[in-house]
A and B are shown apart, each in its own frame.
Chain A
Amino acid sequence: MQIPSPTTNIRPDEPLCIGGKTFTSRFFLGTGKFKNKQDLADSIRACRTELVTVALRRIDLERHEENILEYIPPDVTLLTNTSGARTAQEAVRIARLAEASGCGKWVKIEVINDSKYLLPDNQETIKATEILAADGFTVLPYVTPDLYVARALVKAGAATVMPLGSLIGSNQGLKTAELIRVLIDEIDVPIVVDAGIGRPSQAAEAMEMGADAVLVNTAVATAGHPAPLAEAFALAVRAGRQAYLSGLPRKKSDADASSPLTGFLYE
């Protein structure tokens, strides 16, 4: 299914540009938690994403695992996350290991100390961003939305800021919407809403607010049918983007009649 192009393009969209790469799709997909790799491959194809996240882990010495990279088309940008890192130094180490694979210098910094809420450690994330950006990495840091943190990340050389919508894997949507809105208004690098987006309507909401892209993993990977949902997310992201570019009116606290209030039949 295709959304028809608007007949009057009020404000033509520009492709999203991160780290010198141009993205037509503003929907990024995480590759964790898929029941099988074929579902992942089908989802990537269905949503036509141009960027997926992957993680690094010790290889299993007991059994031979499948190579996830075989299921990701070569023209899709690989963004390795630093999951498992508890400090900036560990994140830097993971990023350097990923780079040694020859898969490029794109890294999603994810530094987490808390096992219950999995909230990112913003301060360690800033430190890791500084080190890796100086080393030529394209750094996409995952943080709780905070204006001062976002400013520090930009100063440290971050290519984007990736604020969480709600807790990882919670499907709760944009619990942090007002804080993300501040980042969208004040931060000049692309804002990619990551974590917690559980349904296409929430992805559309993020895009309507003016987010530059969204990243979804759990909702797609754990769906009954991942590929159709991945496509639904991509459509929602396009719908939300088009709404934003159309100059979507803001919410009001008072009513404002849609029909004329004069010229009634009994007047």
Chain B
Amino acid sequence: MTITLNGKMQELAGEPSLNDIVQQFSPQSRRVIAELNGEIVRDPRWDEIRIREGDILELVSFVGGG
């Protein structure tokens, strides 16, 4: 299955949950914010959200800035 993750095509195996994807790409205890197909998904729902073919997922986090 292919999705667009942070602007890049990404191949994924199986039917991962949103939480699986976050853990895969940001395993540390970073504060990650997820936007799936233009909608913000808050973390209590990450387990129940299944990622589907063609989904557009943005994972963002805090960095230094002025």
User: Which residues of B lie under 8 Å from residue A30 when comparing CB positions?
Assistant: 64-66
Residue of B nearest to A98 (CB): B33
Contact yes or no, A58 B58, CB < 8 A: yes
Shortest beta-carbon distance from B21 to chain A in Å: 10
Which single residue of chain B is at the shortest CB-CB distance from A28? B66
* CB-nearest residue of chain A to B40: A100
Cβ contact of A67, chosen from B30, B42, B58, cutoff 8 A: B30
Q: Which residue of B lies closest to A55 (CB)?
A: B65
Residue numbers in A under 8 Å from B65 (CB-CB): 30-32, 53-55, 80-81, 83, 217
Return the CB mask of B33-66 against A: 1 if under 8 Å, else 0: 1010000101000000000000000111111111
Q: Do B25 and A67 have beta carbons less than 8 Å apart?
A: no
Partner of A68 from the list B29, B64, B66 (CB cut-off 8 Å) is: B64
Residue of A nearest to B62 (CB): A54
Q: Is B14 an interface residue (CB 8 A)?
A: no
Most buried by A among B8, B33, B62: B62
Instruction: Tell me the residues in window 166-198 of chain A with beta carbons closer than 8 Å to chain B beta carbons.
Output: 168-169, 195
Judging by beta carbons under 8 Å apart, are A59 and B64 in contact?
Answer: no
Contact B40 A61 (CB under 8 A): no
With A81-B65, A97-B35, A101-B31 already in contact, 13 other A-B pairs whose C-beta atoms are closer than 8 Å: A30-B64, A32-B65, A56-B61, A59-B60, A61-B8, A61-B10, A65-B63, A69-B62, A80-B65, A83-B66, A101-B33, A103-B62, A221-B64
23 A-B residue pairs with CB within 8 Å: A30-B65, A31-B65, A31-B66, A32-B63, A56-B60, A57-B63, A59-B60, A59-B61, A61-B8, A64-B27, A65-B30, A65-B61, A67-B30, A67-B61, A67-B62, A78-B62, A83-B65, A98-B33, A100-B33, A101-B33, A102-B31, A195-B66, A221-B64
